[in-house]
Amino acid sequence: MGDWSDYFEDFPEENPANWIGGRFDRQAAAAASARETKLAREQAKLDAEISDIIKKHSTAIQVKNHSKCSFPIWSVTISFG
């Protein structure tokens, strides 16, 4: 016997992905898969857009260590671009 995809081609009712709502329905499973693929593609586009916005509007943070003190003092300067 070959791999699982060969088996599921011969016995599609054994493929858990073909069961929707507790019943065997290959067409509904294909439609659900297409919706999930489209949703994943749209989410990837939105994630990329959010990443671009964050990069564009990110803050510049400068941290300086004041080593002249006997205990650590840090100053933080935040500028909004």
Query: What amino acid occupies position 81?
Result: G
**pLDDT at position 53 over 80:** yes
Mean pLDDT of 6-12: 89
Predicted TM-score (pTM) of the model is 0.55
Q: Where are the domains of the chain?
A: 4-80
pLDDT tens profile 67-80: 555 555 555 566 66
- What tens digit of pLDDT does each residue of 28-52 get? 999 999 999 999 999 999 999 998 8
SS3 for 11-58 is CHHHCHHHEECCEECHHHHHHHHHHHHHHHHHHHHHHHHHHHHHHHCC
Residue with tokens 């943070």: 61
